[in-house]
């Protein structure tokens, strides 16, 4: 019984020593925490202004963001010929 208690005390002491040598993690400071939220809100406003209306080709788009929205959300688009996820790559307007 004494051996069991002694082993438990040694293990506890070793664990405490190990924990004391670990670096304390500190939160990363954020310059402006609202900046990220503002960007997300602006993105949501921009994206919700687009809607699927049957357009399928790059020549019918007004921006790359619009082309990306159509490629991700609308059926039968023909804007990503090589299927790499980047629509209208060769359109010099964007």
Angle at 75 between CA 74 and CA 79, to 5 degrees: 80
- At 36-74, the pLDDT tens digits run 677 666 766 665 678 899 999 999 999 888 999 899 889
What pLDDT score does 56 carry?
A: 93
The mean pLDDT value for 21-29 works out to 67
């Amino acid at each position: 019984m004494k051996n069991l208690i002694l082993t438990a005390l040694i293990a506890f002491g070793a664990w405490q020593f190990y924990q004391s040598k670990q670096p304390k993690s500190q939160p990363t400071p954020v310059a402006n925490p609202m900046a990220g939220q503002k960007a997300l809100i602006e993105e949501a406003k921009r994206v919700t202004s687009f809607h699927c209306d049957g357009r399928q080709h790059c020549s019918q788009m007004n921006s790359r963001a619009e082309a990306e929205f159509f490629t991700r959300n609308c059926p039968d688009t023909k804007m990503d010929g090589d299927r790499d996820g980047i629509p209208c790559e060769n359109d010099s307007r964007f």
